[in-house]
Structure 1
């Protein structure tokens, strides 16, 4: 069994920025969530950060993230979102190429999974896209590790009927992505961007989004985007019999109403 944690929409902002566009203390939330991850047993095999790592894309905030991740005892897989900047990220994080403006595409084998990271950032835009160079690189990557199940990481989820254009990838790139990964044993696409818990079966592939670490939205509001208090992440487990995603609420804290002990639980039939 492979266990991994999916964090998204960190929206970190260095305190010196005095960022007026934050709805919560994202630095405190990130620190608390990392403490929870360090305490997990069994420990996760890796942690995915599916974009909007910072709120402004500045080097100080990426430096803050780098320091927070420094003692995490498992690999971290970052992707970029529409709030990020490629140059800002690469100014702090080594090993992701020398060209500061090139899309952040890479892939790794981690705990028996082939993890492929796509960069859907369009500078200055809310919506997402995947450029032709990345599609070519994706095809090359899919020719490798053919026997392994794949996990794709892309900040913007694929476009589907009924979603607004800014909510994900554009429809043309979504269709091209579907054709590219067809039959490639993709067990999940991990995304963010929309700040809500959502699982969508897209061309037979689960697209997993979680609330993230900034704020959530009223999913039943038909018109406006009502931003609400709420953060969380996903605990993901993959085994031979399939994928399990458990959404973990982080804040606001919930009042404990009762407790059933482990011995009693194990005795249930």
Structure 2
């Protein structure tokens, strides 16, 4: 019974922006997280300029991490069109890079997508007008569908498991507040929120909004955490990582 009730400690961070000069910079950070948590979640912008050489540095640094890692890519990781190489470089038996997939670790289900922009609530962009605008909105729609399918897979294969969503872009406005309002449409989309609410996700982690707000709550009480590293530093976290027990 004790084993069933045991809490799983999840450490979450985003926007670590690893560069080619970061060799040995992250070793102590990952070692300390491994002491404090059972799983590490990294919510995108793993690299700074989307180069596979930066991903290789991160891969080497993550060898210091003795706990499983669940991550998604961010917009910086797409910058040079090398996102597939970045994923291949990082993915191994201990590091799971999710893109519309799900993974179960320590009886917790993780579903991950990058997400996309498009705005929030009554100010969401609609599928109308020029083809370029329709394509922008379609990207957000597709990401929400991929998220829904990943969450559905957890429900189908592992009924009653707690579910954690890992995103880069925000699913709600509340956690991007602090950024200039003019760029809100590029920081996330409420289209991501619908599957999170309907599938009764336990918690959502995202990044991308470096000057945003740490916590928000979706309809139905779904907790959302903006774990962008600058947000955590600003909030006074000595070790810039958010800890959640589920």
Q: What's the TM-score, normalizing by structure 2?
A: 0.69
Contact 1:12 1:27 in 2 (8 A): no
Unaligned runs of 5+ in 1: 16-25, 97-102, 220-229, 239-269
The structure with higher relative contact order (CA 8 Å, sep 6+) is 2
Once the two structures are superposed, the pairs formed by residues 115-264 of structure 1 within 5 Å of their partners are 115-120=110-115, 129=140, 131=142, 134-135=146-147, 137-138=149-150, 140-144=152-156, 145-160=158-173, 164-166=183-185, 168-170=187-189, 174-175=190-191, 177-196=192-211, 198-203=214-219, 204-212=221-229, 232-238=240-246
SS in 1 for 2:103: strand
Map of 1:82 onto structure 2 = 75
SS in 1 for 2:153: helix
CA deviation string 1:142-197 (max 9, x = no partner)? 54223111110001111337754345323xxx23x333233423111001111255
Give the number of the structure whose alpha-carbon radius of gyration is greater.
Answer: 1
Whole-angstrom CA distance in 2 between matches of 1:167 and 1:231: 28
SS in 1 for 2:75: coil
Contact 2:31 2:65 in 1 (8 A): no
Unaligned runs of 5+ in 2: 1-6, 118-136
Whole-angstrom CA distance in 2 between matches of 1:215 and 1:190: 13
Question: How many residue pairs are counted as aligned between the two chains?
Answer: 200
Q: What's the TM-score, normalizing by structure 1?
A: 0.63
Higher helix content, 1 or 2: 2
SS in 2 for 1:152: strand
Contact 2:72 2:114 in 1 (8 A): yes
